[in-house]
Structure 1
Amino acid sequence: MKKTFVILLLLPSILLGQELKSPNGKFSLQFKLEEGTPSYELSMSGEPIIEPSGLGFELVDMPSLLSDFEIKNTTTSTFDETWEPVWGESSSIRNHYNELLVELEQTSTNRLMNIRFRLFDDGLGFRYEFPEQEKLVYFVIQEEKTQFALTGDHKAFWIPGDYDTQEYNYTTSKLSEIPGLMDEAVTPNASQTPFSKNGVQTALMLKTDKGIYINIHEAALVEYACIHLEVNPGTFVLESHLTPDAQGKKGYMQSPRNTPWRTVIASKHAGDILLSNITLNLNEPTAYEDTSWIKPVKYIGVWWEMITGKSSWAYTDVPSVRLGETDFENAIPNGRHAANNEKVKRYIDFAAEHGFSQVLVEGWNVGWEDWFGKSKDYVFDFLTPYPDFDVVMLRDYAKSKGVRLMMHHETSGSARNYERFMDKAYQFMADNNYNSVKSGYVGNIIPRGETHYGQWMVNHYQYALEKAAEYKIMVNAHEAVRPTGLSRTYPNLIGNESARGTEYEAFGGNTPDHTTILPFTRLIGGPMDYTPGIFETDMTKLNPDNKSRVNTTIARQLALYVTMYSPLQMAADLPEHYEQHLDAFQFIKDVAIDWDTSLVLEAEPGDYITYARKEKGTNNWFVGRTNDEETRTSNIDFSFLDKDKTYVATIYSDDATAHYLTNPKGYKISKYRVTPKSKLSQMCAPGGGYAISIMEVKDKSETKGLKRL
């Protein structure tokens, strides 16, 4: 990464009685210490965003860190740099903030606690810091007591607070309505631990009655428990709720140590929330000197047919497997195993023909017969293939086609077992030309009693990520803790699931507004492996026993490659379904996965989002619009295009009959010559949207016969 300029200066004039202004003066932070109790408040353009809110900790078997403080020192500074991500929504990111460091000492105990505030032009980040000291070395957190006192009963886009999963549909309601809606919002999952009628997860998206958009989240979650928020419906005060460990404790600390950052992004424009880089900027620069091995990936995979029930991960139907003892060579195949040589070769051929760089194969390794829901420790070894999966042959066949296979490591929640095999598994990948892995954590965690979002598992995910880097392996972690911008520091974290993705479309469906909310919530922390591209929406066509449907039109499936940002993008459907719609499939082949510039042309959480993105290193643009369950008209212009260049726009839109329930395959494709003066008014069907590829043409004769938009 290249810093273009950095300024670090002491600015005493910024601090006026512990007041801090953002660089553009739009935001104002007030820190107060009243009768020894610390608090903060935040305003935007004179409008309160966060009213006076408490800070501090309850500790286990020690006096709390909530009161009896005095200010030892305060320091203010400003920082301004521009850095270049390895991959991202833009090729350069400005990191500009003013900072206030408040150094506190608890007078009765002489313990030290600092609070560092960073105020950006679009919001706030703050964290607790425990310097090296004699009076507070080892301590255990009972609860972090950070508050976010809101100014009213805001509209909220939320999912239930849960220690094990984020795989819920979003509920839109007033804050006061959350307790009454919680039972309905908690839907079944393979592993879940909802903890409160008032608990919700971050990133939490809010909208005030005055039209101000607010987002609350965290950044740089390392060696700490994931935060949730408890809503007080009477006062509209949100209070932090950390994920406990098996003993009910919230965090084990040793000074010197910092907590993750708590973030508040705010704007009068919804698109500004989507374009904020606060989460990334609060993380450290990349930890790797060499990042040349980290590349964005567009892939297909042997996956969707198992998700739908058409095929099986398991090779046999035996009820019990013991690794190293079960004789798979002489076992009777069930005839439904998808990860077999011929099928994988078919996917490799399809990837090579259509320009995909990798093929994911799930169910290749022994142990799938009894992996689910058994709380089984020694469940997979991540090394031993089934008899019908020839690792060496398929490795060489893929290489001959210019394609790599993508590894799959399902842990079944047994993180201890994964660590047992991790070095051997990553070496196995390196030996067989795999450079990326999709890991999974379905089910309850082993060690038993730990949860997906507690400090123990947060440490595990970090260990797996850094260990993978030793072998130059990129990681796409499913069922892991939701991201908090760590991809800046560890850019081999090229994807996460950590939310309700496309697979749920085969389990009963996501609501049509789901993809109009996720960019405002889950994607605030980092990219999601949402696995779009489903063209056959009727699951009975794959499995007569599966009555589910995908709540989308084909046009919206194309749009998701633009609106659901990820440097790791899957064409998730079966090759034969793409071959039935090669004209629409062309957009998936063309769309970029790494960007120079990203713009939000329209946005309203829960209703619609329209993005325009410029492909890195080219003058080509791609536009995507995802729509909720209502018919809407999108109105955009093309003023972002260069005036001196000629472009052809190919529009993949819903046709007049399209509807996510009655005619999901109703689409049309139109071509136009476009300039910066062009405008588009486009109907979007219920559950629909559109996608546009805008390609620069060097020879103006290529636009002959095309109408100007």
Structure 2
Amino acid sequence: MKINKSAVLGLCILAICNSFAFAQKVSVQSPNKKINVGLFNQQNGDAGAWYLKVTYTEGDKTTEAISRIDLGLVRADQEFAKELAFVKAGKATPINEQYKAPHGKRSVRSNNANEVAVSFQNPDKTKMNVIIRAYNDGMAFRYEFPDKREAIAMKDELTSYSIPKETSRWMEKWNTANEGFYTAMVDDKVQQQEWCYPALFNTKDKACWFLMHEADLDRNYCGTKLSNVADATKYKLTFPNPRDGRGTGVVEPTISFPFKSPWRVVIMGNLQDVVASTLVDDISTPTLLKNTDWIKPGVASWNYWSSNHGTKDYKIVTKFADLAAEMSWPYTLLDWEWDSMANGGKLEDALTYIKAKGVKPLMWYNSGGNHTSVTSTPKDRMLTHESRVKEFTKLNELGVVGVKIDFFESEKQNMIQYYLDILDDAAQYKIMVYFHGCLVPRGWSRTYPHLVTYEAVRGAEWYNNVPDFTMAAPEHNTILPFTRNVIGSMDYTPVTFTNSQYPHVTSYGHELALSVLFESAIQHLADRPEGYAALPDAPKNFLRTVPNAWDDTKLVDGFPGKDVTMARRKGNDWYLAGINGEQLEKRKTIKLDFLPEGVKYKLTLIADGAYDSLFSTQYLVVDKSSSIDVRMLRRGGFVASIIREQ
């Protein structure tokens, strides 16, 4: 019998194609067709274990970004993982929503994606849906139990991302305050432990970057983290540790029905796409606030960095009020221990002085309760609804417009509920809120736009704490724009020219650049008044006028750990900033092709001078076709204001 090799080959190809088509049960593609999310069955059938695969296409090249995202939940009564039967998949539905944000990296935003809802049932015939979305700048999915029933504990989430060792990554070791350094790892250097969000990855072929996170966390769940303890190549979503929050609160969340989990979010594309993304906010629940006019982003003076107990001293408090007034900053913060103020006046005296200067006061609070061992006062005034109502009523009377609440130390469900209770009550009294010693952003600034910033970063405060921040800060600063600050406001407390307890080795140009590179809706500029008073006119005037809420954001150039240059727009004007995280001087030619066509601008470039504490200033007229040459010292930096000509 003669075998037709061509026919056999054709049948083999057909069999492979049919197998692939059968295995990939569902596929959803981003509107720009660059990102594809496929749903696969591990047993190549209609029941069993299920996983997602994510690919990224740029031009004619397709990269397998994430080869496998395992799916599954374990409730106290039932499991939804190994024996899930496929029921149906809905038609791809476009999500097309426009909204405005009062602060952040972009004022006008869009929530545009293609969505597919997939229905499963377990052997007990209980339904579970997986909602999958593909965005132009990433993908997301969440679990849903559509039926109503009594509340029950979630024992585990089995979501797990398979990432080969050849993928480069920048990750922060888990800590409850989210205030660690990022570690760069690849191949045999990949460590096994628990990790904070967000985590940054770059595929082996360098074609695709992605940032892993979660969004739209609500009272019905706990915060999760990533763990590759069991397998170096698998990052499993993991519930909080029992010891977090000094052991208060339960690890396993109790969920009510119908139930939707937080979104599991992967921001994806090139580095420009990642830095510009607002996906974590876009996918989160819209605000119910009808009036947000009272939410005013701005710059604040802050005395803690230069004097840890400065708010106990009335004269120091008034000096920082004078600084805010002199620099045209709208706010000054009274940090911890304001209830012990002395040396010329008490709290009410200080508030009267501050307001007489045309400055608005902000005040610190200890989150209180047994979840923190920090005894600094005032403590416990935020702990219950009744105590918050009493305190917010008083703050309204005193003219205080915002509160900084510190030391949460847990992401268990009880603490998530506490965060959101604070935000609900603060909204009723038109009090802006920012959290310290806290979780990283989860999209809450869309739902609660009066949440103006979070710490959750190893920031300049650490010059107070340990000597090792001094030499680590330059590189660390170049990683944050690609990681932590992508997902929401970041209260790093930047722009310090003098020294705290431990010195900085960043140049003055580097420090000035952080006012643009780091986005925070309340930007605490942390130096003492003498540090700003000693500045030349150009950098001083720059700090008087630099915005901190933006209409657009673009990454111009950079690589995490090496250097970064970013452009941000406010109205018709642009602000450009760059820093060098390395020990060698660098020269860059920066194209201004992000400017609109046919418009002239006045550019003021403030760059490193001959040595770290000197500036060099140039004035130019530029347009879209222009470029500028910039020299950055080792650990140096620069800024430029690009003001449209009238």
Conserved? CA contact 1:125–1:278, under 8 Å: no
Q: Which one of the candidate residues 578, 581, 599 is aligned to 1:625?
A: 578
SS in 2 for 1:562: helix
Q: What secondary structure sits across from 1:595 in the alignment?
A: coil
Q: Which residue of 2 aligns with 1:172?
A: 184
Unaligned runs of 5+ in 2: 1-22, 372-378
Q: Distance in 2 between matches of 1:44 and 1:346?
A: 54
Query: One-letter code of the match for 2:102?
Result: V
Q: 2:138 aligns with which of 105, 123, 126?
A: 123
Deviation of 1:653 after TM superposition, in Å, equals 0.8
Distance 1:215 1:648 in 2: 36
- Residue 128 of structure 1 aligns with an amino acid whose one-letter code is Y
Tell me if structure 2 keeps the 8 A contact 1:176–1:234.
no
Q: Which amino acid aligns with 1:490?
A: Y
What residue number does 2:599 align with? 645
2:313 aligned residue = 340
Gaps of 5+ in 1: 1-14, 180-196, 314-337, 368-384, 446-450, 540-545, 659-663, 699-709
Alignment of 1:467-486 (within 5 A): 467-486=425-444
Quote the residue 1:254 is aligned against: 256
The residue number in structure 1 matching 2:614 is 666
Instruction: Specify the alignment match of 2:88 in structure 1.
Output: 73
Q: Which residue of 1 aligns with 2:214?
A: 218
* Structure 2 counterparts to residues 171-190 of structure 1, below 5 A: 171-174=183-186, 176-179=188-191
Shift of 1:414: 4.7
Do structure 1's residue 684 and structure 2's residue 639 form an aligned pair? no
- The offset of 1:244, in angstroms, is 4.1
Query: Alpha-carbon deviation of 1:391?
Result: 3.2
Q: Does structure 1 conserve the Cα–Cα contact (< 8 Å) formed by 2:367 and 2:383?
A: no
Matches within 5 A, 1:413-562: 414=370, 417=380, 418-420=382-384, 421-441=387-407, 451-507=409-465, 508=467, 509=469, 510-537=472-499, 539=500, 546=501, 548-562=502-516
Is this contact kept in 2: 1:154–1:208, CA < 8 A?
yes
Code of the residue aligned with 1:284 in structure 2: it is T
CA deviation after TM superposition for structure 1 residue 401, in Å: 2.1
Aligned-partner Cα distance in 2 for 1:403–1:427: 20
Return closer, same or farther for 1:596/1:252 CA change in 2, 3 Å cut-off.
Answer: same
AA at the equivalent of 1:27? I
C-alpha displacement of 1:39: 1.4
Q: Deviations over 1:262-302 (max 9, x none)?
A: 111222x2121111121111101122011111011211022
TM superposition shift of 1:59: 3.3
Deviation at 1:32, TM superposition (A): 2.5
Q: Aligned partner of 1:390: which letter? A: K
What's 1:402 paired with? 358
Tell me the distance in 2 between the aligned counterparts of 1:293 and 1:524.
Answer: 25
Q: Distance in 2 between matches of 1:292 and 1:549?
A: 40
Identical-residue share of aligned pairs (%): 25
Contact 1:407 1:429 in 2 (8 A): no
Question: Could you tell me how far 1:561 is from its partner in structure 2?
Answer: 1.3
Q: Secondary structure at the match of 1:18?
A: strand
User: Within 1, Cα distance between the matches of 2:230 and 2:81?
Assistant: 23
Partner of 2:265: 263
CA RMSD, aligned part only?
A: 2.2
**Are 1:588 and 2:550 an aligned pair?**
no
- Give the AA of the match of 1:123: G
> SS of the residue aligned with 1:622?
strand
Report the TM-score when normalising by structure 1. Answer: 0.80
Query: Letter of the aligned partner of 1:593 in structure 2?
Result: N
Tell me the amino acid that sits aligned with residue 193 of structure 2: N
Paired positions, count: 592
Q: Distance in 1 between matches of 2:367 and 2:345?
A: 20
Tell me if structure 2 keeps the 8 A contact 1:70–1:104.
yes
Contact in 2 for aligned 1:505/1:551 (Cα 8 Å): no
In the TM superposition, residue 38 of structure 1 has moved relative to its aligned partner by 2.0
**What do the CA deviations read for 1:387-432 (whole angstroms, capped 9, x no partner)?**
8543333333322221111111123665693314322221221110
Amino acid at match of 1:226: G
Q: Distance in 1 between matches of 2:536 and 2:148?
A: 65
d(CA) in 1 for partners of 2:25, 2:158: 24
- Retained in 2: the 8 A contact 1:20–1:28? yes
Judging changes above 3 Å, is the alpha-carbon distance between structure 1 residues 578 and 398 closer, same or farther for their aligned structure 2 residues? same
Q: Which amino acid aligns with 1:105?
A: Q
2:335 corresponds to: 362
CA drift at 1:677: 1.8
Q: 2:100 aligns with which of 77, 81, 84?
A: 84
